[in-house]
Amino acid sequence: MRRRRLAYAIMMGTCLTLFVLSWTVVRLWSHPAAIAMAVVALAIPPFAAIVANWNIDRRD
């Protein structure tokens, strides 16, 4: 459980960092790069949720 929580926190931290940096720093130099970073940031949360819930209901 701890490993999944850590993976989720890292993924969401990366998502938040990408999103904030894309619209505060990168957009000043390159709009397409900022948009690409935002799109990548938007794609991360579904995968983070999958990782966080991996094998949660597994019963043998």
pLDDT at 60 (0 to 100): 44
In a domain, 60, yes or no: no
In a domain, 46, yes or no: yes
Q: 49: which residues sit within 8 A by CB, 6+ positions away?
A: 8
In a domain, 48, yes or no: yes
For tokens 């990168």, name the residue.
26
Residue-level pLDDT, tens digit, the chain, 60 residues: 788 889 899 999 999 999 999 999 998 899 999 999 999 999 999 998 888 888 766 654
> How far, in Å, CA of 48 to CA of 30, rounded?
28
Domain extent, residue 32, equals 2-52
Q: Which two tokens stand for residue 29?
A: 């130099």
pTM of the shown model: 0.77
pLDDT at 31 (0 to 100): 92
pLDDT at 59 (0 to 100): 53
Say how many Å lie between the first and final Cα of the chain, rounded.
17
In a domain, 57, yes or no: no
Residue 58: strand, helix, or coil = coil
Q: How many domains does the chain have?
A: 1
- Alpha carbon 53 to chain centroid distance? 15
pLDDT at 56 (0 to 100): 66
